[in-house]
Amino acid sequence: MIKESIVKALSDQANAEYYSAYLYLAMSAYADRAGYKGIANWLFIQAKEEIAHGSHIYGHILERGAVPLFADIKVPETSFNSIKEVFEKVLNHERHVTSLIDKIATLAEEEKDHATYNFIMWYVNEQIEEEATAGDILAKINLTNSHPGLLFSLDAEFGTRVCNDPFAGD
Ligand code: OFO
């Protein structure tokens, strides 16, 4: 039987994933209005992936025989000053999410909940990729300081991103 402390921690994490989606939607809207349709597409797809991350956690709680807890989703920041600022905030946010995931892994160890520990490892690995991707994008954006035209190439590249369901087949 899954413990209440674990149900609470996983439910909180699902909420944090939905908040991530909300934040990335707000960033996508900013990029769209600023004329960067490709970057808006990239952020919109990122938001969809965050919804998949959150829903997968809810599915796990149900699979373990418990009921997920629901709570308000925080309103995200909606005004940004530049695409660079957006991706600085993406990177900082993903670092924060990593710290949340790590706490769940620690709790699962303490509670000797091997199923949750095994489940949350997917997210531990995913966060390595999330931080690396945000860091790489930020590095590319920093290059645009001296070559502003590069931002348009980046925008075109990001416009090609398509959504892949990370849990297809589960
Ligand atoms: Fe769910 O990976 Fe970003 O937050």
Ligand 1 contact, 97 CB (< 6 A): yes
Res. 133: pLDDT tops 80: yes
Res. 170: pLDDT tops 80: no
Q: What is the pTM of this model?
A: 0.96
Per the prediction, the chain carries an average pLDDT of 96
- Owner of token pair 């991530």: 20
Q: What is the pLDDT of residues 19-53, one digit of tens each?
A: 999 999 999 999 999 999 999 999 999 999 999 99
CATH placement of domain 4-158: 1.20.1260.10
Cβ-based neighbours of 169, under 8 Å, separated by 6 or more: none
Ligand 1 contact, 20 CB (< 6 A): yes
Measured distance CA(122)–CA(114) in Å, rounded: 13
Contact predicate 108/124, CB 8 Å: no
Ligand 1 contact, 50 CB (< 6 A): yes
For the chain, the domains span 4-158
What's the Cα-to-Cα distance from 105 to each of 93, 108, 109, 117, 148, rounded to whole Å? 19, 5, 6, 6, 42
The pLDDT value recorded for residue 125 is 98
Q: Is the dihedral of CA 115, 92, 39, 154 positive or negative?
A: negative
Measured distance CA(11)–CA(71) in Å, rounded: 9
